[in-house]
Amino acid sequence: MKRYFTVPFILAALLAAPLAASAQERDNPAEKINQLIVYGDDPCPASSDGSITVCARKDEAERFRIPKPLRENPNASVNQGWTQRVKAYETVGATGVNSCSPVGAGGATGCMAQLINSAYSEKKQASDVQFGKLIEEERAKRLTTIDADTAAEQARVEVLEKEYEAKLKRERDGVTQPPPPVGNPPAAPLAVPPQP
């Protein structure tokens, strides 16, 4: 009887994974992100072709070692802080609803919440690389240069528009001699704006 109930759940899980991946691709379809870990003084490869390259730097001694989060047990009592130990003492003897204990009515209802809270606290205290933060910093750095380039391009376009309007006015008035330029001439010809 159990096997009939597990098959729909397995199928739902298999179908949900590609949907989540396609949702990420819909947000930024052309954006490619390279996440690399470099060791010691190794250079971080430069971004190219509109991709974002994010490098996390670790010590040279870590190059050929097993990653630190996998070397030791984070749940061992030796690796826990005193605040976690005190919280464990506070829940000793807790029974009833949301207590995650086999004693009392509704004792098992708090187990999922306890697992979720412990997972988030482990993630918050993890010493592993957090690529999400590095990617956001790289995006912010790119956006600052895009804004500066856009402002310079807009200034050049406005100067060209003023010159064009002055030229049209001269042609309508019948003046053949061109007056001096309205503003500073553009430093460089219009270029294709940078692609993010």
Give the whole-angstrom CA distance, residue 81 versus residue 75. 11
Per-residue pLDDT at 182 = 58
Q: HSE, CB side, 13 Å, CA atoms: give it for residue 78.
A: 2
| Number of helices (H), then strands (E), in the chain | 5, 2
Least confident of 1-5, 102-106, 159-163, 192-196: 1-5
For 63-121, the pLDDT digits (tens) are 888 887 777 776 777 777 888 778 777 767 777 777 777 777 777 788 888 888 888 88
pLDDT at 62 over 60: yes
Residues in Cβ contact with 57 at an 8 Å cutoff, skipping those fewer than 6 apart: 37, 38, 39, 44
What share of the chain has pLDDT > 90, as a percent? Answer: 10
Q: Which residue do the tokens 């380039």 mark?
A: 149
Please give the residue that has the higher pLDDT: either 129 or 134. 134
- Look at residue 1 and tell me whether its pLDDT is greater than 50: no
Average pLDDT over residues 36-44: 91
